[in-house]
Amino acid sequence: MTTLYSDDAVAIIGVSFRLPQCSNWRELIDILADGRDCIRPIPESRVANTGQILTGNEKEGGWLDEITGFDHRYFGIALSEAEYIDPRQRIGLQLATEAIVNAGYTLKELSDARTAVLVAAHGGPHPDLFQSLSVQGKANPFAFIGSLHAFSAGRIAYLLDLRGPVYAIDTGCSSFLVALHEARNKILTGEADFALVGGCELVLGTLPQSSKSSSGLGVESMTDRCRPFDAMADGAGFGEGGGFVLLKRLSRAHQDHDVIHAVIRGSAINHDGGRSNGITAPSSIAQTEVITAAWHQAGVTATDIGYIEAHGTGTKIGDPIEVQGLVDTFAAYDVQQESCVISSVKSNFGHLSGMAGLAGLVRIIAQFRTGQIFPTAHFQQLNPLCRSTEELPIRVSSSCEPWPRQGQRPYCAGISGFGLSGTNVHLVVEEAPSTLRHKKYEINERLVLISAQTTQDLSTYLSAITNALSSTEASIDEIADILMLGREHFPYRWSCVASSVSHLVQQLTNHGSISLSSSSPSSSLSVGLIFDECFPIDIQLLMKRGETFPAFHRVIKQAENLCSGKTWTLRQRWIIWLLGHHAVLTAFGVTIDLLLAYGVGKLAAQVVDGGLEFVDALRLADEPVTDSTFDHQRLQTLLQEQAELCLVRFSRCGELATAINTLGYQSYDSERSLLTLLGDWFVNGANLDWQQGCERKINRRLELPFAPFVATYCWPETIENPAMVSDVVPRTSISNSGENVEEILLTQVREVLKEPKLTLDDDFFAAGGNSLNGEQLVVRLNEVLGTDLKLIDLLDCLDLNEFYQLVKDSVQLSSVSTTPEIETRNNKHVLSGQQLAIWAATEIAGESGAYNVPAALLINAEADVAWLEKTLTELVLQQLMLRCSLEYNEQGVNPVIHPPMQVKLVHSEVDLTKYTIATGIPVLTQRLQQMVETPLSPYGIPPTRFELLQVNFSDGVRQTLLLNFHHLFFDGWSWRLVLAALSGGKISPPVNDYLNYAMEQYTLLESEQGRKLEAFWYGYLANIPILLLPCDGEGGTASNLQGANLPVMISKDVTERLRQMAMNSRVTVQMIMLTTWVALQWQISAQHDICVAMPVANRQLKDENTIGCYVNTVIVRARLDPHQPFHVVLNAVRQASLSAISHSAFPSDRIQKLMANTSYHLTMFDFQNDVDPIRVLGGNGAVVELLDVDPNGAKYPLNLTCIEYGDELQARLEYSAALFSQDTVSRWLNIYIEALTRLMTLGEETTLFALFDGQDDVLSDIPDFQF
């Protein structure tokens, strides 16, 4: 073999990849070691984001989860251009950047070198983005160049400023390996110093459809699975993915102490020519020839090769030909030893077309990293057409096994790529050579700088670095160098001073308690220095500062040349101390805007100003100081003129510093740590010259995590998704409005979130937003601006500024036309769909308190009865539904509005004299629950109850205001209005009464839009399964409304961690809890198709001040794969929820009809938030406490209700006592809470299996097979 660092070898120093279900080494190794098959149906979230239309006959494949996100701001691309760039090229651009950063380099370092870019251009059968665009989309000026194959390389070079050879290569399936071969040659011939090689393959356009017959070429598998070399092989399944590698000459990589993932020892390329039976048929002769040539160039023989990553497409004819080519290659070497193992990663991810070689290459590197050879998924028995390998030097990998070493020699592997067009390529890849650790720096402390593009990403990035450092062998100097000099610095920043890796890990671990900066970077930093009177400085402190900062060291050396350090007096050391710090700050690029001097400090100041030589300052240092006073008034004037100044002092208690402090100005003590000062400036946005200030280069490159990209939804209108562009005519126009869009948006956001100081720079979700109030905001904006925004538009925006741009664009595109007004309702009042659903449930089950909506306020002082009665009377006068009941007539049942009445509180007493106030509150709550369970009849008089109870305890008297309404006329939102009025707030009169709303709904449902809504729900609920929950009762159903409930204890710690996870993942607490609830249904039923009922507010802007039953119950339907990580399941539930919410205008009574008899088998998840805690009553301001008195009725078998009440997260589980025992429900409840707690610990990467590990509540008679 060649020598260790021979000059004809090329090192792979940077790697990035995104493959099905994995994008890092840990995920990749787990999949490969398990022999896992990542072929699956296209993710629902992917379909929702791209607007693709499903037929139900789609092929399964190795799908990427997400292809619509792109960090266009990072690359300086306008969103209007970015959305027309083919997603293969967008993803490729990010992966190319990641490969560079993975190597420990900045983009600037590669732009200063000759860097080649070679991209495996998309060459598969699937269309480009341009071909999928609508006619209007194709007319966009960015559309054509967005899909040109040449731009896949050119755009990377342009945006990253890379100036070497740049081109795209298309040889079909072998494209990536051919590009790697060409890049290797560019480096060895000196055309390039670095080379970026990679690309991305995706399936766009109409999705591949399953067929009962094989393709004409025999290439596509009818089972969608690739089974390389197996007897059951019937072709290749397709896969998606991409990645890049960064190459460099091995000798240079060793010299520069680069990360070396692997070494390319040799490569060769040829073509079948006329040696095959057709242009698409492979040639074993040509394959033997190219493999032999590559081995010869690498200087290896068959005895050196321990593993071969075969092309291995799993075709009946292709695999036997490839085996024959390998057998003939080995035969030339007369190998009589342990067989070489072969496999193909296509068995795991499918065939990635031109990027197939990238998947094979990272598999080889993963095997190098672990010292193992991974199994071939699906392999059981050798294809009978293959020559038997029992007596041959090759065999197919069938299990995960150790890779035996040949003495001390590195692992060596081959990798083949055979294009359908006949172009063959083979490379010899060797394990990275072990290197000797070089001498560590002798520095006691290092400044560590870390930054990202958002607060959430910074927190995630800090955690990733913490995990990476847990097993590192690098020194604190090497780590600090990479993070300071080898990373780009972003606006959101964190810093610390660390003396060791363990010290750094300790501070990183505690970063959650640190306030992360959100300052914008700025090159301007206003600094003032305080050169005070003399302060004792030890010679050792001087020398230590000189060891840390080269500029300080030069000042010391200069002073030593002028006079011996052994003879330096106290004042001379002080002058050196001051001038040394000035030199350090100047070296870091800090401009000194103000220099205040006093006493001996004036000599140092004169040296800085050029009025005195350094040698003279040292000579005069011990002369008597004649000026012992300074002008306080002038000092104050100077400081007032530069209020933004950052003052730095160099002693603890100098007279000048003391005077400045007396005037009320703060100054920074640099004696504590100059590194800390520089870190604070960095965190607050200063852009310092770290290279110049530290005067060092990176001594050793490291593979460390890097700041994540910030993905923006980026997808144009395509032929597949015209329905994503609204065909609803806007109802209003703002063409004549005096308000601009920005003002309207901020007004609505501030009202919805009750945050009057929000700006466009804020994040809606970080400020308390979620899907519920997000939907409220979107409805308001559509109402005011005439737009057709969707909740997902808000969810996909990183901040309000981005959402503002989207809203503004939507307004500009909206029509000035208005929707015709709905005809005025006649005198016949109708019930809404929600009311009909409730009425039908009560008619079936008989009278029950299950649909009572009560509240009880414990008053800690005597109530102001007159004020309460006046306030409630005004509410009843204002709100029609508070004086509404039902009546039967010949047409059926209709609402009747009664005349206004004056509210008189009903007074009664409750005797709890056996209890003190402290011990009697739980007893009172139970009594009240029993009282509110008395059914409220909706017929006759309005079903309302206004009661004031006097509660007698042994140690005092308390009053309780008890209110109770019927759900037919009242929902959870309505409580906001009632409680706001009771707290003394002013409630605006309703804009639209509920009777109008019911008629508008009726008109809508009879329209074309109503038919579209029905069509959606008909398809959404098709073949809906019955949830099989194990019941304790015999033959019971939840429809009899017999219920009970249990409190759900969610600790403050879990609540805070839930909110943090939600913020980091850009979802809501509601969505995480809902997903866990859905997963619990799988856990206790073993079913994968889960439906959960979920109430939505369903109010437009004009309905927000109206009491009534607007809340609508929709169905969230999610199909779970328990093998997937939680974040994948979370995204699926999120998309299902958004889809249901966007069609929530279809009322629950009609949804129930579509569900036939399955609705009683559903569970419900109800999440309520933005409930302002009521603390005092209006009138006399009596303090009140809201008691939990909800009735024990079961509208569903299980109903988990969660309420964000202020900072608390309160919950209860309501269940059907006819179906389940309390023990059963308690056990399920404990499993749910335990799953939430484990999720906070294990993180979103954990699977559902791991999340519920150790729980035994899966039905034993329903096996959980994974097909």
663-689: per-residue pLDDT in tens?
A: 767 777 765 678 999 999 999 888 899
Beta strand segments in 1097-1244, E: 1112-1119, 1163-1171, 1184-1187, 1198-1205, 1208-1216
Distance CA 1214, CA 1044 (A): 6
State the pLDDT confidence band at 312, using cuts at 50, 70 and 90: very high
Residue 846 neighbours by CB under 8 Å, 6+ apart = none
The three-class DSSP label of residue 744 is helix
The three-class DSSP label of residue 477 is helix
Residue 88 neighbours by CB under 8 Å, 6+ apart = 122, 152, 199, 200, 201, 202, 242
Q: For every residue of 1183-1211, which 3-state class applies, written as one string?
A: EEEEECCCCCECCCCEEEEEEEECCEEEE
pLDDT, tens digit, 9 for 90 and up, residues 374-403: 999 999 998 888 876 666 788 999 999 999
Give a yes or no: residue 310 inside a domain: yes
pLDDT, tens digit, 9 for 90 and up, residues 856-903: 999 888 888 999 999 999 899 889 999 999 987 766 788 998 888 889
Nearest alpha-carbon partner for 599 in 578, 626, 572, 561: 626
Pair (476, 531) in one structural domain? no
> Looking at residue 7, what is its pLDDT?
67
Q: How many CB atoms lie within 10 A of CB 563?
A: 14
pLDDT, tens digit, 9 for 90 and up, residues 122-152: 766 778 898 888 777 777 767 888 888 888 9
Give a yes or no: residue 297 inside a domain: yes
Give a yes or no: residue 108 inside a domain: yes
pLDDT, tens digit, 9 for 90 and up, residues 588-628: 999 888 898 888 889 999 999 998 999 999 988 888 766 66
Burial state string for 641-665 with b = 16 or more CB within 10 A and e = fewer than 16: eeeebbbbbbbeebebbebbeeeeb
Question: Among 72, 181, 351, 553, which one carries the catalytic annotation?
Answer: 351
Distance CA 719, CA 1142 (A): 22
How far from 965 is each of 203, 215, 846, 1193, CA to CA, in Å?
Answer: 55, 66, 18, 15
Question: Among 22, 173, 340, 496, which one carries the catalytic annotation?
Answer: 173
Pair (837, 804) in one structural domain? no
CB neighbour class for 131 (10 Å; exposed up to 12, middle 13-18, buried from 19): middle
> Looking at residue 134, what is its pLDDT?
78
State the pLDDT confidence band at 817, using cuts at 50, 70 and 90: very low
The three-class DSSP label of residue 648 is strand
The span from the first CA to the last CA of the chain, in angstroms, equals 46
Kindly report the CATH number assigned to the domain that includes residue 454: 3.30.70.3290
Eight-state DSSP code of residue 214: -
Q: Is residue 311 annotated as part of the catalytic site, yes or no?
A: yes
- Rounded mean pLDDT of 461-481? 91
Pair (360, 391) in one structural domain? yes
> Looking at residue 315, what is its pLDDT?
87
Pair (60, 107) in one structural domain? yes
Give a yes or no: residue 692 inside a domain: no
State the amino acid at position 493 in one-letter form: R
The pTM assigned to this predicted structure is 0.60
pLDDT, tens digit, 9 for 90 and up, residues 951-983: 999 988 999 999 999 999 998 888 888 988 888
Whether 1166 shows a pLDDT value over 80: the answer reads: yes
- Rounded mean pLDDT of 264-271? 96
pLDDT, tens digit, 9 for 90 and up, residues 293-305: 999 999 999 989 9
Q: How many residues does the chain have?
A: 1267
> Looking at residue 768, what is its pLDDT?
63
Whether 729 shows a pLDDT value over 80: the answer reads: no
> Looking at residue 34, what is its pLDDT?
95
Q: Is residue 582 annotated as part of the catalytic site, yes or no?
A: no
- Rounded mean pLDDT of 1222-1228? 89
Give a yes or no: residue 215 inside a domain: no
Distance CA 1257, CA 1259 (A): 6
Kindly report the CATH number assigned to the domain that includes residue 546: 3.40.366.10
Q: Sheet harboring 1043-1048: ordered strands across? A: 1043-1048, 1208-1216, 1198-1205, 1163-1171, 1089-1096, 1112-1119
Tokens representing 832 are 């809404």
Kindly report the CATH number assigned to the domain that includes residue 277: 3.40.47.10
State the pLDDT confidence band at 199, using cuts at 50, 70 and 90: very high
Distance CA 617, CA 571 (A): 10
The three-class DSSP label of residue 1166 is strand
Pair (620, 472) in one structural domain? no
Determine contact, residues 1106/992, Cβ cutoff 8 Å: yes
Pair (973, 1015) in one structural domain? no
From 991, 1016, 1041, give the residue that closes a domain. Answer: 991
The three-class DSSP label of residue 623 is coil
Share of the chain above pLDDT 90, in %: 36
Kindly report the CATH number assigned to the domain that includes residue 1216: 3.30.559.30
State the amino acid at position 55 in one-letter form: T
> Looking at residue 309, what is its pLDDT?
97
Kindly report the CATH number assigned to the domain that includes residue 918: 3.30.559.10
Q: Which residues make beta-bridge pairs with 1185? A: 858
Pair (150, 278) in one structural domain? yes
Distance CA 595, CA 597 (A): 6
| DSSP H stretches of helix in 855-949 | 865-878, 917-932
Question: Among 126, 149, 311, 378, which one carries the catalytic annotation?
Answer: 311
Give a yes or no: residue 223 inside a domain: no
Distance CA 402, CA 421 (A): 36
Give a yes or no: residue 1257 inside a domain: no
From 655, 677, 699, give the residue that closes a domain. Answer: 677
- DSSP H helix total and E strand total for the chain: 43, 34
Determine contact, residues 250/10, Cβ cutoff 8 Å: yes
Nearest alpha-carbon partner for 758 in 720, 710, 825, 803: 803
- Rounded mean pLDDT of 196-220? 79
- Rounded mean pLDDT of 985-1013? 85
| Lowest-confidence region among 212-226, 472-486, 976-990 | 212-226
> Looking at residue 1029, what is its pLDDT?
81
CB neighbour class for 1067 (10 Å; exposed up to 12, middle 13-18, buried from 19): buried
> Looking at residue 723, what is its pLDDT?
36
pLDDT, tens digit, 9 for 90 and up, residues 230-260: 999 988 899 999 999 999 999 999 999 999 9
**CA 1158 to the chain's CA centroid:** 35
Pair (855, 961) in one structural domain? yes
Pair (355, 464) in one structural domain? no
Pair (578, 609) in one structural domain? yes
pLDDT, tens digit, 9 for 90 and up, residues 56-68: 899 999 999 999 9
- Rounded mean pLDDT of 94-99? 97
> Looking at residue 53, what is its pLDDT?
81
Pair (928, 1062) in one structural domain? no
Q: What is the mean pLDDT of the chain?
A: 84
pLDDT, tens digit, 9 for 90 and up, residues 406-415: 888 999 999 9
Q: How many CB atoms lie within 10 A of CB 1180?
A: 14
* Domain range for 981: 833-991
Give a yes or no: residue 581 inside a domain: yes
Whether 1206 shows a pLDDT value over 70: the answer reads: no
- Rounded mean pLDDT of 1219-1233? 88
Q: Is residue 829 annotated as part of the catalytic site, yes or no?
A: no
State the amino acid at position 1128 in one-letter form: V
Q: Which residues make beta-bridge pairs with 1043? A: 1216
Number of domains the chain contains: 6
Pair (972, 1006) in one structural domain? no
From 400, 431, 462, give the residue that closes a domain. Answer: 431
> Looking at residue 1207, what is its pLDDT?
63
> Looking at residue 1215, what is its pLDDT?
85
pLDDT, tens digit, 9 for 90 and up, residues 511-536: 654 444 555 555 467 898 988 888 88
Beta strand segments in 981-1085, E: 1043-1048
